Structure formats: C-alpha cells, structure tokens
C-alpha cells in the first residue's frame, strides 16, 4: 500500500517539484495551497495530484485540512513543510505586520501542520517530517530579519522533533535550498539575477527538481537513521 505524503505550498515552484517527485516515487500525494486557485487547478489537471486549500498560518484550518486529506487518501506518513512567504524590508522599516505574517506562515505554520499529524505517526510508529528551510536561515540576509528568523527557527523545530520522534521511527529533517530557479527568482531583473549567480560557486541557480530529490531521499522508509539533519543544497555558496 502506497504511503501518503502531504506537501504544503505543493502546487507551485519547489513545492510542485516535490509533489511530482514523490508521486513518481510511488507515494499518494496531496498538495496544499493557500490562494492561487487557477494555479492549483492547472497543477491538478497536469499531474493528477489533488490539491487542498487552506492557510498554514491558521491552526484550525490545518487540523481540518489534515483530517480531510486523511479521510480521502489515508493516514499521512510524510509531511513536507514547504509553504513560505516573504515580506522583505530593512529592519528599521519593517512593520509589525510584515514580521507577524512571515513568522505566522513560515514558523508557526510548521507547528500548525506538524502538530495534527504527530499523534498518528507516534501511534503507527512511522513518520517523516521534512521542512524546507533556507540558506538565509543559516547565514541571515539583508532586509530579511523576519524571513531569516523564521527559517532559523524551523531548524530548531527540526532538531527537537528528531529527538522526540526517534523512538517512534519518526524522523525530522530540514533542507536548506540556496537560490533556486523558481518563478519568483526568475522574475527579478537580469542584472540582479546575474549578481546572485556570481556569488554561487556552481555558477548557476539550482533547479526545483534538485530540492525534490533531497526530499525523496529523506522520505524513504530506509532513511530512518537520518534524523535531525540539515541538508544544504546551495551550489557551495554557504557551509555550516
């Protein structure tokens, strides 16, 4: 019987690549999304992967969404916390709303999604929690105090969950992408994009599929001894 995987922010960008890769690996996949109905409908039409709409910043919506996915596909074995937003501004100009929106989605969202699936994983003695953090959660970034704080916090959550889940055969791992060729990055002016690439020793942006392969690796049944790890996928731009 195929294991069930739920990917938040799973219908676009890196999340879409993760959803597709997990389906290709034999998982039954559900892709969560927050607001772009047209993109979600197109994704489902092209891939056959069902999409479910709710905000990961809303705990009650997450609990209801998890219940719906499990009722339709079965117990969730693999959770990929991929949903994230940016609200960039230099710290002296950053508003409380910009801070709260990013923390609520990128950090609290990991709690909101993981908390409802955790009891079932403990009971079944199997689970994979995979959280997409960021290179900027490791090294910080100008005008991203909120984003960097949220993504660094995700690493702390991951390490703590790993210790709590290990005896139940639940692993928690994080992946820190560098700059990836998503629509958001490709939309920046070419000169800015060139300046970003100049900082990457690999000489190129990463591809969403390269992050997806990391997810498939740590999601596997036989990856149980890889726990509490952070995988950096950034073209040698930054080392921890």
Q: Residues 6 or more apart from 135 whose CB is under 8 A from it?
A: 176, 177, 178, 179, 232, 234, 237, 238
> Which one, of 138, 137, 121, lies nearest residue 129 by Cα?
121
Tokens matching residue 178: 């560098």
Please name the residue ranges forming H helices in 48-182. 59-73, 96-102, 108-124, 135-139, 145-165
52 belongs to the catalytic site? no
Q: How many CB atoms lie within 10 A of CB 201?
A: 9
Rounded Cα distance between 168 and 18, Å, is 25
Catalytic residue among 33, 52, 147, 179: 147
Tokens matching residue 142: 């100008």
CB 158 within 8 A of CB 128: no
70: region left, alpha or beta (phi > 0 left; psi from -120 to 50 alpha): alpha
Rounded Cα distance between 150 and 136, Å, is 10
146-170 in b/e form (b: 16+ CB < 10 A) is bbbbbbbbbbebbbebbeebeeebb
Q: What is the set of active-site residues? A: 147
């Amino acid at each position: 019987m195929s294991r069930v995987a739920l990917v938040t922010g799973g219908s676009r960008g890196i999340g879409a690549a993760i959803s597709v890769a997990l389906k290709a690996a034999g998982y039954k996949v559900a892709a969560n999304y927050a607001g772009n109905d047209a993109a979600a409908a197109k994704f489902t039409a092209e891939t056959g992967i069902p999409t479910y709409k709710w905000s990961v910043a809303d705990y009650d919506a997450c609990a209801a969404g998890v219940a719906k996915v499990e009722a339709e596909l079965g117990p969730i074995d693999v959770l990929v916390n991929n949903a994230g937003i940016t609200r960039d501004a230099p710290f002296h100009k950053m508003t409380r709303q910009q801070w709260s929106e990013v923390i609520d989605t990128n950090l609290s969202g990991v709690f909101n999604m993981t908390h409802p699936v955790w009891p079932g994983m403990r009971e079944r003695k199997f689970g994979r929690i995979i959280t997409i953090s960021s290179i900027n959660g490791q090294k910080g970034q100008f005008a991203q105090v909120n984003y960097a704080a949220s993504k660094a916090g995700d690493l702390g959550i991951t390490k703590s969950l790993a210790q709590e889940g290990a005896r139940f055969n639940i692993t928690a791992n994080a992946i820190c992408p560098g700059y990836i060729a998503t629509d958001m990055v490709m939309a920046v002016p070419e000169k800015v994009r060139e300046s970003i690439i100049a900082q990457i020793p690999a000489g190129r942006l990463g591809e969403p599929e390269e992050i997806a392969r990391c997810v498939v690796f740590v999601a596997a049944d036989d990856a149980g001894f890889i726990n509490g790890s952070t995988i950096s996928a950034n073209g040698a731009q930054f080392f921890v």
